[in-house]
Structure 1
Amino acid sequence: MKKIISMLLISVFTVLGLVGCGEGSSNNETVSTTEISDAETSTVTDEVETSDIKDTVDESADEKMLVIYFSATGTTKGIAEKIASVTGADLYEIVPKEPYTDEDLKYSDDSSRATVEQNDPDVRPEYEDIQVDIENDYSTIFIGYPIWWGQEPRIMDTFVESYNFEGKTIIPFCTSGSSGIESSSANLVEKAGTGNWLSGNRFSGSATEDEIKNWISGLELD
C-alpha cells in the first residue's frame, strides 16, 4: 500500500514539474515576441528615416547646375570641363554659326573679324540653337568665355541678352593670359539685366582641378 502511495505522489510531482516547464516555455515565447516587436518598430523607424532622406535627395535634384561656355581655341573648354567635373553640372558649348578661324583671331590685324567685332559694341554674332532649357531646368549657371581685347567676345553679349535669368545664380568665369574678369563681368551683368550674379574668376589655361575646387568652395553655393 505504501508503495502505491509513493508511486502516486511521484506521478503528481512529475505532472506538476511538466506544467511548470510549460509555463517557463510560455514566458520565453513572450520575451521572444517582445523582441520581434521591437525589431519591427526599429524597421518602421528605419523606413521613415530612409523616406526622409529620399525626399531630401529628390528636392536637391531640382537644384540643377549648368556650365555653358564659348571657346574658340579650346582653352576655355578645358576649364569648363573641369568645373563641370567638380560640380557635377551639365556641360554645354555655345557654338557660333560662323566658326572663328585662326585668321579671324589675329590680334595684330585691325581688319580681322574678331578685332572688328570687338571694336563695335553693337555687333551680335549668332550661335547655333541651344538644345537645353536654360530658363526652366537650371538654378545655377556658370558662364565661361575667353577675354578678347580686354572684354568678353560679342557672342557672349548675344547670349546673355537672349535669356531671362530671374531667380538664378550666375557665376561668370573667363580664361586669359593677363586681363582680369571685372570689366567683362560688369558688361554681362548690365546686358543681362536679370539674375543674381556672383563675382567671377579668371583662369589661365593651365589651371588645375584643385584650383577650381578651391574657388568653388568659396562661392558658398546652396
Structure 2
Amino acid sequence: MTKQLVAYITGTGNTRQVAEHLAAAIGADLQEIVPNPPFTGADLDWTNPNSRSSRQHANRSMRPAIATNPSINGYDKIFVGYPLWWDTAPREVRTWLESHDFAGKTITTFATSSSSTRGALGTQLHDSAPNAHWVDGRRFDVHANEAELKAWADSIA
C-alpha cells in the first residue's frame, strides 16, 4: 500500500485549508512546513519591494530558514502545497526539498491562488529534488472540496 504525505506551507491559511481537504480525501498524513520566522501580512505585500515575498522573488538563490522540517521517511508519494508567490513557491519550499533525498519517491505539487495558474505545475522546483519522480501539479482555489481533490489525486496515481 502506498503511504502518502501532504506537506504544505501557507501564508494566509488558504493552502492549509486545501491541504487539509486533500489529506482527508486521500487518507494521507498532513505536515506543515513552517517558516522561521512565520509569515506576516507585511511579508505578503507584493507592492512593497522590501517585503519578504518581493525579496524572495528578487533573489532566487535565497533559502530561508524553516521552523519545522516534515520528515519524508516511509512515504512513497508526497503532495507539496504552497501559495503562488510571483508564479512560484515561497523559497522555504526549496529549503525543505533540498534538506531531503527524494530518491524513489513521487512528488506532485498543488498551489493555491485566486487567479494565477503559472507555477502550479511545480516544474520550477524539480532541481531542488532531482532524484524524485515528479508529476505535474495543479492550482486550486480555497473552495476546492474533498471530492474534487480526490478525483485529481486519483487521476495521477
What is the TM-score when the length of structure 2 is the normalising length? 0.93
What amino acid is aligned across from residue 134 of structure 2 in structure 1? Answer: W
Runs of 4+ in 1 over 3 A off after TM superposition: 181-184
Partners of 2:121 and 2:95 lie apart in 1 by 14
Q: 2:65 aligns with which of 109, 113, 126?
A: 126
Aligned pairs for 1:82-93 (under 5 A) are 82-93=21-32
In the alignment, which of 70, 91, 96 is matched to residue 9 of structure 2? Answer: 70
Asked if 1:115 corresponds to 2:62, the answer is: no
The answer to whether the Cα contact below 8 Å between 2:121 and 2:137 also exists between their aligned partners in 1 is no
Whichever residue aligns with residue 83 of structure 1, its letter is: L
CA distance in 2, matches of 1:182, 1:165: 21
Q: Secondary structure at the match of 1:80?
A: helix
Aligned to 1:138: 75
Which whole-Å CA distance do the structure 2 matches of 1:99 and 1:180 have between them? 25
| Residue 110 (structure 2) aligned to one of 173, 190, 209 | 173
Structure 1 unaligned residues grouped into runs of 5+:
1-59
Aligned-pair CA distance for 1:217: 2.2
Among candidates 25, 31, 44, match of residue 105 of structure 1:
44
Kindly state the Cα deviation for residue 119 of structure 1 after the two structures are TM-superposed: 1.1
The separation in 1 between residues aligned to 2:119 and 2:51, in whole angstroms, is 25
CA RMSD of aligned residues (A): 1.5
Which secondary structure does the structure 2 equivalent of 1:199 belong to?
strand
Q: Is the 8 A contact 1:147 1:175 kept in 2?
A: yes
- Evaluate the alpha carbon distance shift between residue 171 and residue 159 of structure 1 in structure 2; reply closer, same or farther with a 3 A threshold: same
Larger Rg: 1
Aligned residue pairs total 157
Are the equivalent residues in 1 in contact too, given 2:103–2:131 (CA < 8 A)? Answer: yes
TM-score, normalised with respect to structure 1 = 0.67
- In structure 2, C-alpha distance between the alignment counterparts of 1:158 and 1:103, rounded to whole Å: 21
Going by fraction, where is strand more abundant, 1 or 2?
Answer: 2
How many angstroms apart in 2 are the aligned matches of 1:106 and 1:156? 19
Does the 8 Å contact 2:35/2:68 carry over to 1?
no
2:85 corresponds in structure 1 to: 148
Percentage identity across aligned positions? 39
Q: Mean alpha-carbon deviation: is it higher for 186-195 or for 80-89? A: 186-195
Q: Tell me the SS of whatever aligns to 2:136.
A: coil
Per the TM alignment, residue 182 of structure 1 is displaced from its structure 2 partner at its CA by 4.4
Structure number with greater CO (CA < 8 Å, separation at least 6) is: 2
1:159/1:184 CA distance change after superposition, 3 Å: farther
Segments of structure 2 that go 5 or more residues without pairing to the other structure are none
TM alignment of 1:15-34, pairs within 5 A? none
Q: Which amino acid aligns with 2:51?
A: S
User: 2:144 is matched with which residue: 192, 204, 207?
Assistant: 207
